[in-house]
Chain A
Amino acid sequence: MNTDTTQRREEHWKRTKALMIKHLVVWFFFAYLVHLFASSLNSINFFGWPLGFYMAAQGSLIAFVVQLFLFAKQQDRIDQDCGVAEES
């Protein structure tokens, strides 16, 4: 493997790891953090829902879906930039 390829791969893995950490932080927020404070959030009215209940019934789910669309796009961008994407 020549040095150019090695460099591109190192760059690719560095950016991939950074993206992974970013998404796990967002995931941690919607998966756990908001639900730990659900009882305080419940005093906020969100279109009729108590906010804590809303986040568990719908809010976190929507966040996960949006997050995965973004992730797929961002990771693909990294693969393209570093020249390790699949040929299509």
Chain B
Amino acid sequence: MSNVNDPFGGLFRMKGNFIDNLPKIYGFYTGGFLLFFALMAVLETMGVSADVIGILFLSFTIFIYALIGWLSRTMQVDAYYVAGRQVPAVFNGMATAADWMSGASFVAMAGGIYFGGHGYLAFVVGWTGGYVLVSVLMAPYLRKFGCYTVPDFIGTRYGGNLTRFLAVLVLVIASFTYVTAQINATGTIASRALQIPFEVGVWFGLISILLCSMLGGMRAVTWTQVAQYIVLIIAYLLPVFWMSNKQGFGVIPQFVYGDAVARIQELEGMLQVGMAPAEGAASTFPGLKALTTLHADTGGGLAAWKFVTLAAAMMLGTASLPHILMRYFTTPSVKAARNSVTWSLVFIFLLYFTAPALATFTKLQIMDPNLATSIIGKAIADVNAIEWIQRWSEVGMLAVADGNGDGILQINELFIRGDIVVLATPEIAGLPYVISGLVAAGGMAAAMSTADGLLLAIANALSHDLYYKIIDPKAETRKRLVVARVLLIVIGAAGAAVASLKLTGILGAVAWAFCFAMSGLFFPLVLGVWWKRANRPGAIAGMAVGLGVGSWYLYMVKFAGMTPWIGLDDLRFGIVGAAASLIAMVVVTLMTKEPDAETQAMVDEVRVPSGDTILGSQH
């Protein structure tokens, strides 16, 4: 079978069509990956070095993704832009989860909770709660619309090239901010595992990313993202299960780690966490931090307000990010789009409710004097002799300083980088190196899948909305798809070039992307469906003012030294931008005349699942 719907036809000879065989295909794939893992474990016991195992893990998984990408190549418009609209809800859920969970979720989140405690959990709440908005307000209606891209919806619902152009502009700014952080993450992981310079690692990462998406567009990205989700979730969960089993917290530790939290609170008093400032200035150990925040303390003053505003920014941002919304264009029906959002959240939840557990266990292992792995309260000389301490010190991700000169390690004398909470946990807990190789492959999968989704979102908006709809509406299919691919390479190269400059931290860039997206797109998207009266001048004002005010506020707070309004710092600037966008859109809409009857009828059609999509299957 080698019909257009069957990318793997050449590899698998099966009865029935490709879609029906998906569970079987990915079942084989998962089994194969576990077998590979077992093989690596055997190689390790036979004395193969840790470096070689790391290289094998990375190259094997990247080869598989590239193979899927090549098998999914296509020259059809709807396969390229929306995977032929035949991705079942559960598989689209997995693909969305991989698209969603970036290097930041995989590598940085548990470390963030380790240091930030309760306050950092606002990210966990925000990055899950946003899916309620996606399902209730957006995804099913956008699916009914039948668009290829998010600007396609804005441009058709409100009409006019200016609206389309503004939507493309917001999309490019938000997604490009995000993608540089992801290419940065792939570069970091590749350079560490393959032992090449970071600048080379970035380009290596980019080539791996493009191998997945270039030939098959959305169809290729979909099937590689499902494969990447399977790798990343195994890589995240397996070490946690293993570790907790070893320490007697049961097989599924996520449900029983309450006692560990209680124990940490007890130890925090004994070890005087947060009582004394960190020893040694930050300049001594750039990028490293000592623990000074209590694990479950909510903090006083504006803390609760800062928690909910950060959560709100992440949620509205979730519901505005084009690379996520466009995943729901690929389902076979409106109902499937809705179910697919639910499955996305289930698959995301698996990782997100594990991250706080991981942070808690790691902290307890380092702190609790009853555990063999603890280092706080031990003699500095003994601590410096531990293998994992040495290994991570060598690469500058960990430092021990005897600030008060008593020869004993205090909690404020241990400096680590947040990232190593996930990366070094297997070693801290004394697990074999094969687990560390697995974790590196998982981190790479997380960063690659998100980068792929983002690059495709940008390239598709530029090729479909800017080139085809605005510049050259007569372009033939072949030319459109060639333009899309050239843009993919150009944008990827630009992203890698910016990433190799290391301008911002990974997490900062991610939060900014959310804020840009919500400033410009949230209200024009929501009101496009839920407010029939919303019109073109209103949408133009909403996007322009939202993006303008948001960017201005970010600049003032971050670079011009303005005091943030009521604690709304640069991570939360989207709140200011979105509020401005809402006001501008409503005021301008009410001052101008209502949309014509044709547009109003179109909105009525969008609101019901039955019937044809608004835009034809080839447009």
Q: List 24 A-B contacts (CB under 8 A).
A: A16-B607, A27-B129, A27-B132, A27-B136, A32-B308, A35-B308, A37-B304, A38-B298, A42-B298, A46-B258, A47-B256, A49-B261, A49-B262, A50-B265, A57-B356, A61-B352, A64-B132, A65-B128, A65-B349, A68-B131, A69-B342, A72-B339, A85-B610, A86-B334
- Taking CB atoms and an 8 Å cut-off, the chain B residues in 253-291 that contact chain A are 254, 256-262, 265
Nearest 10 CB-CB pairs, A to B?
A: A48-B258, A56-B121, A57-B356, A53-B296, A49-B258, A84-B608, A39-B298, A68-B342, A31-B129, A48-B259
Does the CB pair B135–A60 fall under 8 Å?
A: no
A36, A42, A85: the one contacting B335 at CB < 8 Å is: A85
- Taking CB atoms and an 8 Å cut-off, the chain A residues in 26-77 that contact chain B are 27, 30-32, 35-39, 42, 45-50, 52-54, 56-58, 60-62, 64-65, 67-69, 71-72, 75-76
Chain A residues, Cβ within 8 Å of B82: none
Question: For the complex, is B346 an interface residue (Cβ under 8 Å from A)?
Answer: yes
Contact count A vs B, C-beta below 8 Å: 154
Closest to B610 in A: A84
Using known A-B contacts A38-B298, A67-B132, determine if residue A52 contacts B118 with beta carbons closer than 8 Å. Answer: yes
Rounded to whole angstroms, the CA-CA distance of A57 and B553 in the bound complex is: 31
Smallest beta-carbon distance A34→chain B, Å: 9
Rounded to whole angstroms, the CA-CA distance of A45 and B137 in the bound complex is: 36
B135, B254, B298, B335: the one contacting A58 at CB < 8 Å is: B254
Rounded to whole angstroms, the CA-CA distance of A56 and B607 in the bound complex is: 34
Rounded to whole angstroms, the CA-CA distance of A27 and B352 in the bound complex is: 18
Chain A residues, Cβ within 8 Å of B295: 53
The number of chain B residues touching the other chain, given as a range, is 35 or more
B135, B261, B607: the one contacting A53 at CB < 8 Å is: B261
Chain B residues, Cβ within 8 Å of A56: 118, 121-122, 124-125, 307
Closest to A46 in B: B258
B254, B311, B607: the one contacting A31 at CB < 8 Å is: B311
Does the CB pair A76–B335 fall under 8 Å?
A: yes
Question: How would you classify the secondary structure of chain B's contact residues: helix, strand, loop or mixed?
Answer: helix
Using known A-B contacts A30-B129, A61-B128, A68-B341, determine if residue A85 contacts B609 with beta carbons closer than 8 Å. Answer: yes
Smallest beta-carbon distance A17→chain B, Å: 8
Does the CB pair A9–B122 fall under 8 Å?
A: no
Using known A-B contacts A35-B308, A61-B128, A65-B345, determine if residue A52 contacts B298 with beta carbons closer than 8 Å. Answer: yes
